[in-house]
């Protein structure tokens, strides 16, 4: 942002300089015209013509300098516009980040990364963890997200980046097989890909296939159950979903909205 | 809630799949829903015991779905047993997801009934696509699948 501001200031200064130059050249043109008139009056015709030509040239140069000043002004406005766009993009990016991560995500994750790495146990020793699939995040569930027999959803505000950093650096508890526990949450590590998936714990919600499907509908249709039920991908389960299915999904939906 | 979702990863006719399910588990055909993607092929008779449907994403051609009513009707079969029964009857490969939140590996059942754990591409699964990365163990009916290390 500081570079943009510097560029904006520099363009404005150059525009002012160009305008000053145009003013000086224009003044010179007035002086040259005056000199040409005097030379003409005293009969030095050739010199008068040359001075006149120099005045015309000065006028032309003044025009160019003014055009340059106008162009720099225009450039300055564009730089200002870019500055505005960047500022709003940064604000928007910060908002998204707040919805998917806790405000302390970056600092907490980097805090783990900065700690002394401990010996790694289990598959993490040979499979570096990457990230968690979007189908697990409340804010990123879409209608096409696959509904499995068991589905664990990460609620907004859970600092999964910090948890993964802890697993990566050996600061989690290795349970067994491919399972790790950190901050009262259990995660699995996929091999060989390195994907991490939430299993259970604080800030996680476990849903069955129909409950997860209902949640997908509520998220897609802004909490409107009737609209969700009319979506073909949900309508096909109309004989299998019950009011309890929808109540469970609704509770998760409401909790997620409150935490987001 | 019991959930018997079995995804066929090779093209299969829904009517054939419904007939196979009816035969294998003695389900009256009218109690099996057939969902063609936008509507039911016919009105099923209550209680609905199972459903066959077109696949819900790339790589998924058809699905068999049964919940508690199917479990009660079929006497609580193992998920694998249901998948083997259907895959061998329609002679098409099928997969089903992990039965525990702790596991990530799916099970593939080949047309000949041989089966084993497989790993799916997690990124593509996020978008609803079934793409097998490789098999954790040898599956005789799917010899072309690359082996992936178990690494546990």
Q: Which of A72, A100, A128 is the last residue in one of the domains?
A: A100
Q: Do A56 and A85 fall within a single domain? A: yes
Q: Do A56 and A115 fall within a single domain? A: no
Rounded Cα distance between A106 and A114, Å, is 12
* pLDDT score for A260: 86
CA B135 to chain centre: 17
Q: Do A68 and A179 fall within a single domain? A: no
* pLDDT score for A2: 42
Q: Residues 125-164, chain A: which have Cβ within 8 Å of B?
A: 126-127, 133-135, 144-146, 148-152
Question: pLDDT tier at A230 (50, 70, 90 boundaries)?
Answer: very high
* pLDDT score for A117: 84
Instruction: Tell me the H-state helices in chain A.
Output: 2-41, 45-100, 105-114, 160-168, 209-220, 225-230, 232-235, 243-259
Strand order in the sheet with A196-201: A173-176, A179-182, A185-189, A196-201
Bridge partners of A173, per DSSP, are A181
Q: Closest-CA residue in chain A for B97?
A: A148
A144, B100: Cβ pair inside 8 Å? no
Q: Do A56 and A135 fall within a single domain? A: no
Residue A24 has pLDDT above 50, yes or no: yes
A149, B3: Cβ pair inside 8 Å? yes
* pLDDT score for B67: 97
CB of B33 within 8 Å of a chain A CB? The answer is yes
Q: For chain A, what is the domain count?
A: 2
Q: Using alpha carbons only, how large is chain A's radius of gyration in Å?
A: 34
- Domain membership of residue A57 as a residue range: 2-100
- Under a CB-based contact definition with an 8 Å cutoff, are residues A65 and A14 in contact? no
Residue A205 has pLDDT above 80, yes or no: yes
CB of B30 within 8 Å of a chain A CB? The answer is no
Lowest mean pLDDT across A21-35, A89-103, A222-236, B65-79: A89-103
Q: Do A115 and A139 fall within a single domain? A: yes
- Under a CB-based contact definition with an 8 Å cutoff, are residues B28 and B1 in contact? no
Residue A19 has pLDDT above 70, yes or no: no
A150, B100: Cβ pair inside 8 Å? yes
Q: Do A90 and A116 fall within a single domain? A: no
Quick one: tokens of A71? 């162009």
B122, A195: Cβ pair inside 8 Å? yes
Written as tens digits, the pLDDT of chain B (152 aa) is 999 999 999 999 999 999 999 999 999 999 999 999 999 999 999 999 999 999 989 999 999 999 999 999 999 999 999 999 999 999 999 999 999 999 999 999 999 999 999 999 999 999 999 999 999 999 999 999 999 987 55
CB of A199 within 8 Å of a chain B CB? The answer is yes
The residue-averaged pLDDT of A20-34 equals 61
Q: Mind listing the pLDDT tens digit for each residue in A112-166?
A: 666 778 889 999 999 999 999 999 999 999 999 999 999 999 999 999 999 999 9
Q: Do A43 and A141 fall within a single domain? A: no
Tell me, what's the ipTM? Answer: 0.95
Contacts of A144 in chain B (CB under 8 A): 56-57, 127-128
Residue A85 has pLDDT above 60, yes or no: no
Average pLDDT, chain A: 78
Indicate the DSSP class of residue A237: T
Contacts of B97 in chain A (CB under 8 A): 146, 148-149
Domain boundaries, chain B: 4-135
Q: Name the residue among B101, B121, B152 with its Cβ closest to that of A178.
A: B152
Rounded Cα distance between A19 and A66, Å, is 6
Mutate to test the interface with B, among A236, A241, A249 (most CBs of B within 10 A): A236
Lowest mean pLDDT across A22-26, A121-125, A147-151, A233-237: A22-26
* pLDDT score for A16: 57
């Amino acid at each position: 942002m500081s570079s943009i501001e510097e560029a904006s200031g520099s363009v404005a200064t150059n525009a002012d300089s160009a305008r000053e130059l145009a003013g000086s050249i224009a003044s010179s043109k007035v002086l040259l015209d005056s000199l040409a008139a005097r030379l003409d009056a005293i009969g030095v015709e050739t010199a008068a013509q040359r001075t006149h030509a120099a005045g015309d040239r000065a006028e032309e140069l003044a025009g160019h300098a003014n055009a340059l000043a106008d162009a720099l002004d225009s450039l300055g406005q564009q730089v200002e516009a870019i500055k505005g766009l960047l500022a709003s993009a940064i604000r928007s990016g910060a908002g998204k980040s707040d919805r998917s991560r806790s405000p302390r995500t970056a600092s907490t994750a980097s805090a783990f990364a900065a700690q002394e790495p401990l010996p790694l146990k289990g598959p993490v020793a040979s499979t570096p963890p990457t990230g968690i699939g979007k189908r697990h995040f409340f804010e990123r569930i879409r209608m096409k997200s696959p509904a499995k027999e068991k589905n664990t959803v990460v609620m907004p505000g859970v600092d999964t980046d910090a948890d993964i950093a802890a697993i990566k650096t050996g600061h989690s508890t290795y349970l067994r097989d491919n399972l790790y526990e950190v901050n009262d949450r259990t995660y699995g590590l996929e091999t060989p890909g390195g994907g991490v998936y939430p299993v259970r714990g604080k800030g996680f919600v476990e849903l069955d296939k129909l409950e997860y499907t209902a949640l997908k509908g509520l998220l897609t249709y802004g909490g409107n159950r009737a609209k969700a039920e009319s979506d073909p991908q949900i309508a096909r389960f109309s004989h299998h979903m019950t009011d309890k299915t929808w109540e469970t999904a609704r509770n998760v939906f409401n909790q997620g909205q409150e935490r987001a | 809630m019991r959930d018997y979702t079995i995804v066929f990863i090779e093209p299969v006719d829904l009517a054939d799949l419904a007939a196979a399910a009816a035969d294998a588990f003695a389900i009256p055909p009218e109690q099996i829903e057939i969902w063609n993607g936008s509507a039911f092929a016919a009105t099923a008779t209550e209680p609905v015991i199972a459903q066959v449907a077109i696949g819900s994403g790339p790589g998924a051609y058809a699905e068999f779905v049964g919940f508690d009513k199917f479990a009660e009707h079929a006497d609580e079969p193992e998920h694998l047993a249901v998948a083997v029964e259907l895959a061998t009857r329609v002679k098409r490969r099928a997969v089903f997801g992990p039965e525990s939140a702790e596991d990530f590996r799916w099970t593939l059942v080949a047309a000949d009934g041989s089966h084993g754990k497989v790993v799916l591409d997690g990124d593509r699964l996020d978008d609803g696509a079934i793409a097998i990365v490789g098999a954790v163990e040898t599956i005789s009916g799917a010899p072309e699948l690359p082996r992936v290390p178990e690494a546990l």
